[in-house]
Amino acid sequence: MPARLSVDTVTVRAPAKVNLHLAVGPRRPDGYHDLTTVFHAIGLYDEVTLTRADALTVTVDGASGVPTDSTNLAARAVLALAKRTGHDPTVAVHLAKGIPVAGGCAGGSADAAAALVGCDHLWGTDLSREQLLEVAATLGSDVPFCLVGGTALGTGRGEQLTSVLGQGTFSWVLALSDGGLSTPTVYAELDRQREQGPVTVATDAGEVLAALRAGDAVLLGRALANDLQAPALALKPELQSVLDAGEALGALGGIVSGSGPTIAFLARDADHASSLAAALSARGVCRSVRVATGPTPGARVVKAA
Ligand code: C5P
């Protein structure tokens, strides 16, 4: 057998996600909530480069407010995989951020998934896909999905995944906000609203799954549902004007992405997404807009040397 070529540096690309359906159950004794969610990976990426080094370090490009200490989710992923496999966690982690920070698009989870894939490649661990997914689940509820990508049904706290049959590609416009929202704060606001009285709840994911099977963007636009939208709007009321603008400009549907504050609008096709993005931008209702298609694969090595 030829000797394994030693790799010193590896770059992994990991996608953002939107939740096409997010139904949140009651708060569990462990503080989490049981979910029924449909994750959808979109072509907005973070690139994570891992290089063998003398110490574990984190540097960041393209965003502010990302921690560079051991609380960084990519650093935690390196440490978790090192512990699981007996390797030395001495790598320089560089994050090139394309996913909005604290935006409800799983940017931190994407970095963690990328770090797992990258270290797995760098160290040549013999972990199976299932074992890597187990480590991913210890890091955060969205991290397993960021490894897998595509479109998947998530249950449990979001970490138990089943792939979803679908066809076609969907075109999205993401409206980015000034400032982020903290995920625990949005869940706590949902709990508070529920204590005060009945609130609208996302029912089952059937309509979204049918729209995906049919590859029908119009049906999908109508079926989008997110229980975290009301609490996100309560915490950031200005998001309503973004949703209203997208609807007025002809989006097939619009939804707060995960715990927000990014808003995802579904367009008919790529041309419609470009014109919708330009029109939204001209309205000046959001910080910036991005266009992306989904589904797209999960964290993948794009360069190794
Ligand atoms: O799993 P992760 O660390 O990403 O979750 C961040 C926070 O979001 C949790 O501490 C919890 O407050 C909330 N959460 C939840 N139920 C879930 C997922 C997340 O309450 N299923």
How far apart, in Å, are the Cα atoms of 57 and each of 47, 74, 90, 98, 299? 16, 10, 8, 20, 21
Task: Look at residue 102 and tell me whether its pLDDT is greater than 90.
Answer: no
Q: What is the pLDDT of residues 224-270, one digit of tens each?
A: 999 999 999 999 999 999 999 999 999 999 999 999 999 999 999 99
| φ, ψ for residue 232, nearest 5 deg | -65, -40
User: pLDDT above 70 covers what percent of the chain?
Assistant: 98
Residue 35 alpha carbon to ligand 1 centre in Å: 10
Task: Look at residue 218 and tell me whether its pLDDT is greater than 90.
Answer: yes
Contact 23, 201 (CB under 8 A): yes
Model pLDDT, residue 146: 98
Residue 155 alpha carbon to ligand 1 centre in Å: 13
Report the chain's mean pLDDT, rounded to a whole number. Answer: 95
Q: Which residues, 6+ apart, have CB-to-CB distance to 184 below 8 Å?
A: none
Residue with tokens 């160290």: 123
Task: Look at residue 11 and tell me whether its pLDDT is greater than 60.
Answer: yes
CA 192 remoteness from chain centre: 25
Q: Is 85 exposed, middle or buried (0-12, 13-18, 19+ CB in 10 A)?
A: middle
Catalytic residues: 17, 142
Q: Which structure tokens are listed for 80? A: 């978790």
Ligand 1 atom nearest to CA at 27: 20
Residue 33 alpha carbon to ligand 1 centre in Å: 7
Q: Which structure tokens are listed for 154? A: 């998530």
Ligand 1 atom nearest to CA at 158: 21
Which residue's CA is the closest to the ligand 1 atom numbered 2? Answer: 140
Residue with tokens 């440490």: 79
Task: Look at residue 299 and tell me whether its pLDDT is greater than 60.
Answer: yes
Residue 184 alpha carbon to ligand 1 centre in Å: 6
Count CB-CB contacts under 10 A for residue 231.
26
- Which of 17, 19, 24, 32 has the most ligand 1 atoms within 8 A of CB, as the residue to mutate? 32
Q: What residue type is assigned to position 122 of the chain?
A: L
Model pLDDT, residue 35: 96
Residue 183 alpha carbon to ligand 1 centre in Å: 7
Task: Look at residue 191 and tell me whether its pLDDT is greater than 80.
Answer: yes
Listing DSSP states for the chain in one string gives -PPPPP-SEEEEEEEEEEEEEEEEEEEPTTS-EEEEEEEEEEEEEEEEEEEE-SS-EEEEES-SS---STTSHHHHHHHHHHHHHT----EEEEEE--SPTTSSS-HHHHHHHHHHHHHHHHHT----HHHHHHHHHHH-TTHHHHHHBSEEEEETTTTEEEE----S-EEEEEEE-SS---HHHHHHHHHHHHHHS-------SHHHHHHHHHT-HHHHHHH-EETTHHHHHHH-TTHHHHHHHHHHTT-SEEEE-TTSS-EEEEESSHHHHHHHHHHHHHHT-SSEEEEEEE--B-SEEEEE-
* pLDDT band per the 50, 70, 90 thresholds, residue 3: very low
Q: Which structure tokens are listed for 223? A: 């079926």
Ligand 1 atom nearest to CA at 187: 20
Q: Which residues line ligand 1 (CB under 6 A)?
A: 31-33, 35, 140-142, 157-158, 183-184, 187
* pLDDT band per the 50, 70, 90 thresholds, residue 1: very low
In angstroms, rounded to a whole number, what is the distance separating the alpha carbons of residues 73 and 68?
Answer: 9
In angstroms, rounded to a whole number, what is the distance separating the alpha carbons of residues 35 and 21?
Answer: 10
* pLDDT band per the 50, 70, 90 thresholds, residue 177: very high
Q: What is the pLDDT of residues 14-55, one digit of tens each?
A: 999 999 999 999 999 999 999 999 999 999 999 999 999 999
In angstroms, rounded to a whole number, what is the distance separating the alpha carbons of residues 154 and 156?
Answer: 7
Ligand 1 atom nearest to CA at 31: 20
Q: Which structure tokens are listed for 105? A: 């698009």
Task: Look at residue 60 and tell me whether its pLDDT is greater than 60.
Answer: yes
In angstroms, rounded to a whole number, what is the distance separating the alpha carbons of residues 96 and 46?
Answer: 6
